[in-house]
C-alpha cells in the first residue's frame, strides 16, 4: 500500500512516498522557491541518486503537478500511474479545538482548516492549497489531514487555559494548543516499544529539539502539557524564535522602538533565539563552532537553550510524578548528545529512580502515512 505524504510550506512542497506495510520510504523530495525565479525540484529514490532540476513553478498547484510528474517520470519515477497511490496524507499545522485526531478530508474539513488559518496564518493556507491541488491532481485518491495540534488535545483545561479574561477564550479560542504533535506522538510510541510497556502505561518527557523546539509531558501515552502555546513561539529558545518572554516586553518595545504588531512578530519569530542572542546563526552547529572560538554571546545562547530545557524537564517531572523516559529527538535532539548527557547529569535523581534518557529518531512522515492508511482502510470496510 503506497501512501504519498505532502508537507506544504509557504514556498515549498516536501513529499515522500512510503510503503506502509513495510514501513519504508520509496522516494522523496522537495519543490522549493515556489513563486520565485529559482524554483527547483530535488528528488531522491532511496538508495538511488539525487536528481536536482531548476524548473518554473508559480504556485502550489504547479508544485503538486511537478510532484506527480516526477513520481511517474519514466526515467526517475517510481510509479506507472497516480492511481498506484492509495492515499495522500497532508501535514496540517493547526486543527484548532475541532480535530482530536487525523481525519479524512471532505468539504467541511476544508472549511474548518480555512477557519483555523487565522490561528496559523503562515502554515494553514499553504497546506490548504496543497490539499485542494491534490484533490484535483490525484482525483480519485482519498486525502487525509494529520494535525500538529491533535496529539495535545488530551491536555486538561487548567494546562491549556491562559490567565487572561475568559471572554477572549470564548470569543477567539485563545488558549494553548501545542505543536509538533506528530513527532511527540511518534517518539512516544517508539519509546513505549523500547521500554517494552503498553503506550497507555508510559509516562514520558519528549523533547523535540530542531529548528523549532518543544517539550511535552506524556502521561499514559497522552500529552498533558507542552511548551508551545497559542502559536509555536512559546517555550524553549529556538533557531530564530524567542520562546517564552514576559508579554510586557512586547508593549515596551513597541512603544520605545515605534514598532507595529507585525514588526514585533517578525523580531520574535525570525530574529530571536540562537540567531538573535548570538548574532551568529540559527543553527546549533555554528553556535558550537563559535563557542569553541571563544564567542561569549554564542555561549550565552547555548546556556539559555540548555537552562530552559532543564527547567521544563524539572517541571514536567513534577507534574508527572513517575517518569519512565526522557526522549530527545529532531535535528538537535538526535545529533547533539551533549544535551542529553547534561540532562542525565542534572537529573541524576531521576536516573537513580529508573528513568531512562534516550534518543529516538523522529519520523513524522511515517506516522502521517500510517494514519492515512488506517483511515482509508477503515473507510473502505
Ligand atoms: P529539524 O528542524 O529537526 O530539521 O532540525 C534542524 C536543526 O537541527 C538545525 O538548524 C541544526 O541546529 C540542528 N542539526 C541538524 N543536523 C545536525 C547535526 N548533524 N549536528 C548538529 N545539529 C544538527
Nearest-atom index, ligand 1, CA of 211 = 2
Q: How far is CA 283 from CA 34, 51, 212, in A?
A: 24, 26, 11
Neighbours of 337 (CB within 10 A): 12
**Do residues 93 and 147 lie in contact, with contact meaning Cβ atoms separated by under 8 Å?**
yes
Q: Which grid cell sits at 119?
A: 490561528
What is the pLDDT, as a whole number, of residue 3?
98
What is the pLDDT, as a whole number, of residue 223?
98
pTM above 0.85, yes or no: yes
Pick from 283, 291, 292 the residue to mutate for probing ligand 1's pocket: most ligand atoms within 8 Å of its CB: 283
The CATH code belonging to domain 197-364 is: 3.30.420.40
CA of 252 to the centre of ligand 1 (A): 33
The DSSP 8-state label assigned to residue 166 in this structure reads H
Residues of the chain with pLDDT under 50: none
Nearest-atom index, ligand 1, CA of 330 = 3
**Do residues 325 and 358 lie in contact, with contact meaning Cβ atoms separated by under 8 Å?**
yes
pLDDT tens digit string along 60-70?
999 999 999 99
What is the pLDDT, as a whole number, of residue 47?
81
pLDDT tens digit string along 314-358?
999 999 999 999 999 999 999 999 999 999 999 999 999 999 999
| 3-state SS class at 128 | helix
What is the pLDDT, as a whole number, of residue 322?
97
Neighbours of 3 (CB within 10 A): 26
Distance CA 113, CA 135 (A): 15
Q: Is there a shared CATH topology between the 2-147 domain and the 197-364 domain?
A: yes
Q: How far is CA 165 from CA 120, 174, 233, in A?
A: 22, 10, 21
Domain ranges for the chain: 2-147, 197-364
pLDDT tens digit string along 102-136?
999 999 999 999 999 988 888 899 999 999 999 99
Active site residues: 148
Distance CA 140, CA 7 (A): 20
Helix 296-320 with 337-346: angle, nearest 10 deg: 50
CA of 268 to the centre of ligand 1 (A): 20
For ligand 1, residues with CB inside 6 Å are 210-211, 239, 283-285, 330-332, 335-336
* Minimal-distance CA residue to ligand 1 atom 10: 283
Q: Which residues pair with 325 in a beta bridge?
A: 204, 356
CA of 213 to the centre of ligand 1 (A): 11
CA of 186 to the centre of ligand 1 (A): 18
Q: What share of the chain is helix, strand, coil (3-state, %, to 5)?
A: 45, 20, 35
Nearest-atom index, ligand 1, CA of 209 = 3
Give the CATH H-level superfamily of domain 2-147: ATPase, nucleotide binding domain (3.30.420.40)
| Closest to 358 measured CA to CA, from 162, 186, 194 | 194
| Closest to 213 measured CA to CA, from 253, 257, 171, 243 | 243
Amino acid at each position: 500500500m503506497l501512501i504519498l505524504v505532502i508537507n506544504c510550506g509557504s514556498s515549498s512542497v516536501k513529499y515522500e512516498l512510503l510503503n506502509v506495510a513495510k514501513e519504508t520510504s520509496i522516494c522523496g523530495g522537495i519543490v522549493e522557491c515556489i513563486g520565485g525565479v529559482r524554483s527547483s525540484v530535488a528528488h531522491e529514490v532511496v538508495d538511488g541518486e539525487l536528481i536536482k532540476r531548476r524548473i518554473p513553478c508559480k504556485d502550489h498547484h504547479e508544485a503538486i503537478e511537478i510532484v506527480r510528474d516526477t513520481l511517474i517520470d519514466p526515467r526517475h519515477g517510481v510509479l506507472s500511474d497516480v492511481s498506484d497511490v492509495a492515499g495522500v496524507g497532508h501535514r496540517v499545522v493547526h486543527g484548532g479545538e475541532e480535530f482530536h485526531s487525523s481525519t479524512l478530508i471532505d468539504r467541511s474539513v476544508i472549511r474548518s482548516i480555512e477557519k483555523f488559518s487565522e490561528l496559523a496564518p503562515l502554515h494553514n493556507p499553504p497546506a490548504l492549497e496543497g490539499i485542494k491541488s491534490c484533490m484535483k491532481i490525484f482525483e480519485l485518491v482519498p486525502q487525509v489531514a494529520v494535525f500538529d495540534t491533535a496529539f495535545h488535545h488530551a491536555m486538561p483545561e487548567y494546562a491549556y487555559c491562559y490567565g487572561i479574561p475568559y471572554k477572549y477564550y470564548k470569543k477567539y479560542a485563545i488558549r494553548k494548543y501545542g505543536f509538533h504533535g506528530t513527532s511527540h506522538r511518534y517518539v512516544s510510541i517508539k519509546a513505549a516499544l523500547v521500554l517494552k510497556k503498553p503506550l497507555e502505561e508510559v509516562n514520558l518527557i519528549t523533547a523535540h529539539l530542531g529548528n523549532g523546539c518543544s517539550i511535552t509531558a506524556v502521561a499514559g501515552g497522552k500529552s498533558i502539557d507542552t511548551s508551545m502555546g497559542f502559536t509555536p513561539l512559546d517555550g524553549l529558545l529556538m533557531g530564530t524564535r524567542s520562546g517564552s518572554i514576559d508579554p510586557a516586553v512586547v508593549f515596551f518595545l513597541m512603544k520605545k522602538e515605534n514598532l507595529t504588531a507585525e514588526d514585533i512578530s517578525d523580531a520574535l519569530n525570525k530574529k530571536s533565539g540562537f540567531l538573535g542572542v548570538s548574532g551568529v546563526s540559527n543553527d546549533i552547529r555554528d553556535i558550537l563552532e563559535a563557542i569553541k572560538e571563544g564567542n561569549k554571546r554564542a555561549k550565552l545562547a547555548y546556556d539559555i537553550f540548555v537552562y530552559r530545557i532543564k527547567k521544563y524537564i524539572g517541571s514536567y517531572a513534577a507534574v508527572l510524578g513517575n517518569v519512565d523516559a526522557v526522549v530527545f529527538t529532531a535535528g538537535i535532539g538526535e545529533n547533539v548528545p551533549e544535551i542529553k548527557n547534561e540532562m542525565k547529569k542534572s537529573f541524576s535523581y531521576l536516573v537513580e529512580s529508573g528513568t531512562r534518557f534516550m534518543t529516538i529518531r523522529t519520523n513524522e512522515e511515517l506516522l502521517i502515512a500510517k494514519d492515512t492508511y488506517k483511515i482509508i482502510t477503515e473507510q473502505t470496510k
